[in-house]
Amino acid sequence: MTTAAVPAPPRLVLADVVPGARVRDALLVVGAALFTALLAQVSVPVPDSPVPITGQTLAVVLTAAALGPLRGLSGQALYVALGAVGLPFYSDASGGFDAVAGATGGYLIGFLPAAYLIGLAAQQGQDRRVTRALPLFLAGQLVIFAVGVPWLAVVADLSAARALELGFYPFLLGGVVKAVLAGLLLPAAWRLVGDRR
Q: Which residue, among 134, 138, 167, 137, has the nearest Cα to 150 in the 3D structure?
A: 167
pLDDT of residue 10: 61
pLDDT at 6: 59
The residue ranges of every structural domain in the chain are 20-191
Nearest to 165 by CA among 179, 154, 149: 149
Q: Quick one: how far is CA 165 from the chain centroid?
A: 22
CA pair distance 172, 170, nearest whole angstrom: 6
Report which of 99, 97, 106, 92 is spatially closest to residue 145, judged by C-alpha positions. 106
How confident is the model at residue 97, as a pLDDT?
95
Query: Nearest-CA neighbor of 107 among 66, 159, 145?
Result: 145
pLDDT digit string (tens) for the chain, length 197 residues: 555 565 655 668 888 777 777 888 999 999 999 999 999 999 999 999 999 999 999 999 999 999 999 999 999 999 999 999 999 999 999 999 999 999 999 999 999 999 999 999 999 999 999 999 999 999 999 999 999 999 999 999 999 999 999 999 999 999 999 999 999 999 999 999 876 55
Instruction: Pinpoint the alpha helices (H) of the chain.
Output: 22-40, 56-67, 69-84, 97-101, 105-123, 130-155, 160-167, 172-193
**What is the DSSP secondary structure assignment for residue 53, as one 8-state letter?**
E
Residue 2 confidence (pLDDT): 57
Q: Residue 90 in 3-state DSSP?
A: strand
Partnered with residue 9 across adjacent β-strands are none
Domain 20-191 is found in CATH 1.10.10.10: no
